[in-house]
Amino acid sequence: MKPVFYILSIFLFLTVTGVQSQNYEYEKSTLTYKEIDGHLLEMIIYKPKMPTGIKLPAIVFFFGGGWVGGTTSHFELQAKYFATRGIVAICPDYRTYKSHKTTPFESVKDARSSMRYLKKYGSDLGIDTNKIVASGGSAGGHLAASTAIIDDINEESDDLLLSPKPFALALFNPVVDTGKKGYGKEKMNGREFEISPVHQITSELPPTIILHGKNDKTVPYENVVRFKHLMKQEGNKCILVGYKKQEHGFFNYNKKPKYFKKTLLKTESFLEDYNLLKGESWVKKYYKELKNNS
């Protein structure tokens, strides 16, 4: 039997370094970030339990669905995981065709409004407003990119002095080209280049990671290859991770659990590179827990 003092010293070391209790508990809440045409748009917030006064980074997940439908639960599993790693995870609702009979342009406006809301009120929510990451999948990836790249599509009621530009971008098979080589041209009413990120890339954009299936038939892999090339050409940091034989939506847990884990690990590593997370990774254990509870 090891001496009691040895056991106590190990316990103290683990406690002080945070290794023993690396996962944070979090609280879930809902708030309204925008009222438009009589509709309230809400965001779901997963906030780590921290002492009062500590400002945490945040990651905002925009759901996919072709700007036609979708729900804030799309990235719920990712949001809950990252909340345990000490980052505030947020899932905003936004207008879609099914819910509000709107176009992708209104979706872009809402995404940019949600980021401006967080920039304005984030400090009151315990968020470091200089470290907000925008993320999303498919059309939601397009909206995340649009918060950084598309400058001319804004809600009239927004405070345009507040920039919606995020600290970084984490994009899952994102729509980056809304022209004829990409996705969604038929929904743009002849205005496809106004909200096409690949056509509006400039310098000084946030560091970006893209996770994309190489067999994606909805959003062609060529689109993100071209996006990465143009980002690099303008001096921006852009990482593209391609997954062989994977199609659109491959990262969703209910579709490809194994690739849910792989993309969660890649996203985690990207966020850790910018010191946005606390504690240690437990993705593999989280994945096993999800499988056991399925």
CATH number for position 265:
3.40.50.1820
Parallel, antiparallel, or unpaired: how do β-strands 208-213 and 56-62 relate? unpaired
Residue 185 domain flag:
yes
pLDDT band at 4 (very low <50, low <70, confident <90, very high): very low
Q: What is the pLDDT of residues 41-79, one digit of tens each?
A: 999 999 999 888 899 999 999 999 999 999 999 999 999
d(CA 77, CA 111): 20
pLDDT at 62: 99
The neighbour count for residue 24, using CB atoms within 10 Å, is 18
pLDDT at 22: 63
What are phi and psi for residue 137, nearest 5 degrees?
Answer: -120, 140
Per the structure block, which two tokens stand in for 170?
């984490």
Q: What is the pLDDT of residues 202-254, one digit of tens each?
A: 999 999 999 999 999 999 999 999 999 999 999 999 999 999 999 999 999 99
Parallel, antiparallel, or unpaired: how do β-strands 88-92 and 208-213 relate? unpaired
Parallel, antiparallel, or unpaired: how do β-strands 39-48 and 88-92 relate? antiparallel
What are phi and psi for residue 7, nearest 5 degrees?
Answer: -60, -45
The neighbour count for residue 156, using CB atoms within 10 Å, is 6
Residue 19 domain flag:
no
d(CA 174, CA 176): 6
**For residue 273, is pLDDT > 50?**
yes
pLDDT band at 294 (very low <50, low <70, confident <90, very high): confident
Q: Give the rounded percent of residues in the chain with a pLDDT score beyond 70.
A: 93
SS3 28: strand
Residue 16 domain flag:
no
Parallel, antiparallel, or unpaired: how do β-strands 127-137 and 88-92 relate? unpaired
How far apart, in Å, do the first and last CA atoms of the chain sit? 40
Residue 7 domain flag:
no
d(CA 206, CA 133): 9
Residue 11 domain flag:
no
Q: What is the pLDDT of residues 143-176, one digit of tens each?
A: 999 999 999 999 999 999 999 999 999 999 999 9
Residue 153 domain flag:
yes
Residue 12 domain flag:
no
Half-sphere exposure of 173 (CA within 13 A, CB side): 27
d(CA 270, CA 211): 11
The neighbour count for residue 197, using CB atoms within 10 Å, is 27
Nearest residue to 197 (alpha-carbon basis) of 235, 236, 145: 145
Structural domain count of the chain:
1
pLDDT at 128: 98
Render 212-224 in DSSP notation, one character per residue.
Answer: EETT-SSS-HHHH
Residue 5 domain flag:
no
Q: How big is the chain by its Cα radius of gyration, in Å?
A: 20
d(CA 178, CA 160): 25
Q: What is the mean pLDDT of residues 6-31?
A: 57
Mean pLDDT value across the chain: 92
Domain hosting 234: range is 24-293
d(CA 174, CA 249): 10
Parallel, antiparallel, or unpaired: how do β-strands 39-48 and 26-36 relate? antiparallel
pLDDT band at 290 (very low <50, low <70, confident <90, very high): very high
**For residue 12, is pLDDT > 70?**
no
Q: What is the pLDDT of residues 19-43, one digit of tens each?
A: 334 689 999 999 999 999 999 999 9
